[in-house]
Structure formats: C-alpha cells, structure tokens
Amino acid sequence: MKSTLGTALGASLSGVSLASMAANAPTKIESEDINSRALLKDEYDLHFLAIGDWGRNGADHQIQVAKQMGKWATEHPNDFIISTGDNFYPSGVVSEHDPLWHYSFENVYTDFSLQWDWYPILGNHDYKSDPDAQVRYTAISRRWKMPSRYYSKTFKIKEKAEVLIAFIDTNPLIPEFHQNSEYGPHVAGQQPEKQLAWLNELLQTSDAKWKIVVGHHPIYTAGPRTNNYDTLAVRKVLQPLLEKHRIPLYLSGHEHSMQHLKVQEKHFHQFISGSGSEVTPVKKGVNYSRFEASTYGFMYFAINKEQLQVQCIDHEGKVIYSSIIPWNA
Ligand SMILES: [Fe+2]
C-alpha cells in the first residue's frame, strides 16, 4: 500500500532548501539553557573570589573556608578565583611535583565550582622555596594560572568595557629581602625597577574602565604590621603609582584577617583577604580602617560598569561585611 503520509512529507521537504532550514533553526549546539550555572545571574558582569595565606594541609580552618568557598561559588555567579599569596606554609613548594600541591591545594579546594581558573600571586612564604615552581605548575594544572611571577589579565564586561587586573610580585620590591638569608636567594636576579616600569606602562596604556592591582603585601594595615618594614617599603613604591593612575582598588593578603582600608586623601581603596586558614589580631580604631575582622574567610567581588561590590564571608558562610564602591574617574 502506498503511504500517503510519506508522500506528503517528501513533497513538503523537497520544497525546502537547506539554507532556509538553517536560517530558521536554533543556532546554539551546546545550549547554555541546560547549564544551571547560567541561571545564576545578577546585576554584575564579572565575579571573583579572593583568598589569601591558606596552604596548611587543610589545618587551622583551611578546610572549613574551602567548603564555604565551594558552597558560595555554587550558589552565586563566579568567574575565577584570586589567591593573594602565601599559598604554601610554612615554606612554599620545592617543585611543581611537591606533595603539598595535593595536600594543601588540590585535595582541599575540591568543589566542582572551584575547578575554574585560579590567578595566584607569590607571598613571602612562597619565596622560602622555589617561587618558579608555582609558575611551572601552570603547565600541569588545568586551573592554576600563573604564567610568570607577575602578569596581567583583562576581562570584558558589558558595553565593551574592560576590567584590568595587574597581578604583581611585591617580594622583590622590599629592599631587606635581597639581604635576607631565606628570601635573598630567590629574589636574586629579580629587577624591581623593571617590574615597576612594567606596571606603570600597563596602567598608563590600558583603556580598561576598572584597573585593579593585586599584590601580597599591604600598603596599609590595621593588623600587627602597621609600621613594619615590608608595609612601609611596599607603600613607598606602590602608592605613588596607584595615585598617579587613580587606581580604585588594591587587593592584598599577608595579614591574616579581612580588612577594608581607605586613607581619606588617597583615591584607592585597599582590601586585605589573608585569612584563608590562620588568623592574627586586628587593631580597632585605626582612622583609615572601614572594616577589620580577625576572622577566617574569603572575599567575593562583583563588578559592572557603574560599581564594584565586595563581600566578606566567614568560615561558616556568613556575610560579615559588604561594601559598594562606585566607579569614579
Ligand atoms: Fe605573607
């Protein structure tokens, strides 16, 4: 028996060109509609977590903070993770195959939401062994992205605007480190003037709407190192550059606490996220401190063209501070 249905289908298809079928068909092959993370949208275009001073084989609340980071990044939009240095205690890693990569990093930040890009910088403890081993690990890891001891990344946000982040290495900027028996061998050969010239050129020539600098050592702190030689040395060379280019944000670690600092006559805000495991005390009543907490945790940044939001989240997942910085040329 002849199929009238088949005949009808054949007749209708024969009159349709492949080009017109393509034009009418959905064009997405791998649809974002089936990715639940795509539903996590808010008013911001770029989001990242920031954690510092963490690698302790999971000890001293490192595990608890890691779990909350995973929970937060699962429930909120997130694009990448910044590490503000002192990635491995007590003395960095000796090679890209050091077991600490497993015990202090891979086996701690295990949540699927934390398998996205990490942009780390080097802290002073990382300088007690081989800092370049952390650069070399980039070739082994899918998520660890440290192309060199200092580097920059540009991220697109809406309306063709960009966010520039300069990831710097503050260790060679401290003159005392060059004479120090532990740090000296690993800062040898580093040229601080060259890095500062690179940073100046980068900040000068970038058209990014937001320019952020990330370095391990704070420029100001309401922690134990308010007047330490490292704080003062970094302030001396970095503050003039930040002010010259009207940089809105400097993010650091080193102090094991969370802080938001703003010196009244300076343009830049400074955040310290350095309590990824151990905590150290903070001082109350420091006039340039807007927030200081001796609390384990991490920070969450969200940016759009108009403003930047920062939240501090503790090791139990509680938001303990939130602040909005409007864009201001
Ligand atoms: Fe440090």
- Is residue 252 a part of any domain in this protein? yes
203-212 pLDDT tens trace? 999 999 999 9
**Kind plus residue range of the DSSP H or E element containing 177:** none
How many whole angstroms from 78 Cα to the centroid of ligand 1? 26
- Is residue 300 a part of any domain in this protein? yes
How many whole angstroms from 72 Cα to the centroid of ligand 1? 25
For residue 131, cis peptide bond before it (omega within 30 degrees of 0): no
Integer Rg of the chain from CA: 24
- Is residue 279 a part of any domain in this protein? yes
CATH number at residue 165: 3.60.21.10
Structure confidence at residue 4 (pLDDT): 46
- Is residue 32 a part of any domain in this protein? no
- The 3-state DSSP class for residue 259 equals strand
- Is residue 27 a part of any domain in this protein? no
**Does residue 7 surpass a pLDDT of 50?**
no
Find residue 153's DSSP bridge partners.
165
How many whole angstroms from 59 Cα to the centroid of ligand 1? 17
In percent, the amount of the chain with pLDDT more than 70 equals: 88
How many whole angstroms from 23 Cα to the centroid of ligand 1? 57
- Is residue 181 a part of any domain in this protein? yes
What domain range is 177 assigned to? 42-326
Q: Side by side, which strands form the sheet with 210-214?
A: 151-156, 162-167, 210-214, 249-252, 269-273, 258-261, 289-293
**Does residue 125 surpass a pLDDT of 60?**
yes
195-228 pLDDT tens trace? 999 999 999 999 999 999 999 999 999 999 999 9
Looking at the structure of the chain, the number of domains it has is 1
Structure confidence at residue 15 (pLDDT): 53
Structure confidence at residue 286 (pLDDT): 96
Q: What number is the average pLDDT over the span 102-113?
A: 98
- Is residue 1 a part of any domain in this protein? no
pLDDT confidence bin for 235, thresholds 50/70/90: very high
How many whole angstroms from 241 Cα to the centroid of ligand 1? 22
273-311 pLDDT tens trace? 999 999 999 999 999 999 999 999 999 999 999 999 999
How many whole angstroms from 111 Cα to the centroid of ligand 1? 26
pTM for this prediction: 0.89
How many whole angstroms from 86 Cα to the centroid of ligand 1? 5
Per-residue CA distances from 256 to 2, 53, 229 (Å)? 81, 7, 17
Contact 195, 150 (CB under 8 A): yes
- Is residue 3 a part of any domain in this protein? no
